[in-house]
């Protein structure tokens, strides 16, 4: 138990030290700094903002002069559509990075700290609770609190051997539009797939979690810190405590 508490304490202090610099550092003021974004909080307020922006966009579009039709020319490089592909990758760089970059974490296995590399993929569901748009813009950025999670992970278990688990679950994450930090929690199940010594495979757990969300809502790109306790239904080591931190798009 003492090792578990020490592990979580070190993980918390290291993570907060790294994230506080980037998240809470004051922004430099300048004479030509853009106007602050328009913010809204609450399901009804976000829906009203979205409706108003759509009406403004329709009105703006009606006021634009008619543009004569110009056929598009295909842009190729070395005979292939690499120009369009490069542009698509550049526009989607944030979500690509969040999908491919692993979260770094640690957990106790047989009372011994073990490192983890996991990929917490998020699927948002339902209406937005917080939202924002730039002054004069027509894009409403939304924070949706209800999420489904799918998180595969790799755990080094000695030498060149690795073990693997996958976690599925539900997460509720509240991040007010004017805050640089959000809070949430969730529940799921972690399934040990293979590679864990002295434990049956597969085996499943009940897995509650607490989540802290660092970043400026409702922009894209956040650092997410999660603490979990897995209570397994089988095996010798029934309680596994751990956490991770990583870059997420939502």
Q: For residue 221, give the CATH number of its domain.
A: 2.40.160
Domain count, the chain: 1
pLDDT of residue 6: 55
Res. 3 pLDDT band, cuts 50 70 90: low
Distance of CA 113 to the CA centre of its chain: 25
The mean-pLDDT minimum among 25-39, 86-100, 220-234 falls in: 25-39
Res. 14 pLDDT band, cuts 50 70 90: low
- Domain assignment present for residue 96? The answer is no
Pairing of strands 181-194, 38-41: unpaired
124: domain range? 2-23+38-63+102-248
Whether 196 contacts 164, CB under 8 Å = no
The DSSP element (H or E) to which 122 belongs, if any, is strand 121-125
Answer yes or no: is pLDDT of 231 > 70.
yes
Tracing tokens 């020490």 back to the chain, one arrives at 6
Mean pLDDT in residue range 111-122? 90
Answer yes or no: is pLDDT of 76 > 80.
no
pLDDT of residue 4: 52
- Domain assignment present for residue 15? The answer is yes
Q: Rounded mean pLDDT of the chain?
A: 84
- Domain assignment present for residue 109? The answer is yes
- Domain assignment present for residue 202? The answer is yes
Res. 10 pLDDT band, cuts 50 70 90: low
Answer yes or no: is pLDDT of 28 > 50.
no
Answer yes or no: is pLDDT of 98 > 80.
yes
- Domain assignment present for residue 225? The answer is yes
- Domain assignment present for residue 242? The answer is yes
Distance CA 75, CA 18 (A): 43
pLDDT of residue 36: 84
> Per mean pLDDT, which of 75-89, 96-110, 154-168, 198-212 is the most reliable?
198-212
Q: Check residues 239 and 10 and name the one with the higher pLDDT.
A: 239
- Domain assignment present for residue 166? The answer is yes
| Cα–Cα distances in angstroms (integers) from residue 119 to residues 53, 68, 166, in the given order | 35, 48, 9
- Domain assignment present for residue 138? The answer is yes
Answer yes or no: is pLDDT of 34 > 90.
no
Res. 203 pLDDT band, cuts 50 70 90: very high
pLDDT of residue 218: 86
Answer yes or no: is pLDDT of 151 > 80.
yes
> Per mean pLDDT, which of 7-11, 111-115, 193-197 is the most reliable?
193-197
Mean pLDDT in residue range 31-35? 65
pLDDT of residue 91: 82
pTM value is 0.78
Whether 98 contacts 249, CB under 8 Å = yes
């Amino acid at each position: 138990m003492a090792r578990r508490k020490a592990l979580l304490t070190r993980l918390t202090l290291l993570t907060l030290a790294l994230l506080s610099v980037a998240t809470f550092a004051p922004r430099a003021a300048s004479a030509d700094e853009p106007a602050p974004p328009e913010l809204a909080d609450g399901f009804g307020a976000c829906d009203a903002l979205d409706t108003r922006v759509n009406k403004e966009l329709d009105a703006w579009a009606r006021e634009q002069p008619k543009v004569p039709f110009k056929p598009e020319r295909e842009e190729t490089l070395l005979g292939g559509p690499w120009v369009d592909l490069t542009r698509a990758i550049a526009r989607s760089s944030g979500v690509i990075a969040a999908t491919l970059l692993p979260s770094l974490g640690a957990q106790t296995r047989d009372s011994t700290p073990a490192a983890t590399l996991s990929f917490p993929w998020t699927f948002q569901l339902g209406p937005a609770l917080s939202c924002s748009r730039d002054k004069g813009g027509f894009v409403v950025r939304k924070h949706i609190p209800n999420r489904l999670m799918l998180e595969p992970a790799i755990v080094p278990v000695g030498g060149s051997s690795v073990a693997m688990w996958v976690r599925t679950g539900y997460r509720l994450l509240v991040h007010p539009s004017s805050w640089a930090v959000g809070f949430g929690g969730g529940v799921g199940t972690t399934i040990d797939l293979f590679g864990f010594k002295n434990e049956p495979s597969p085996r499943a757990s009940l897995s509650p979690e607490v989540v802290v969300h660092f970043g400026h809502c409702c922009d894209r790109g956040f650092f997410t810190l999660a603490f979990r306790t897995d209570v397994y239904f089988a095996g010798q080591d029934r309680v596994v405590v751990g956490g991770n931190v990583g870059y997420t798009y939502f």
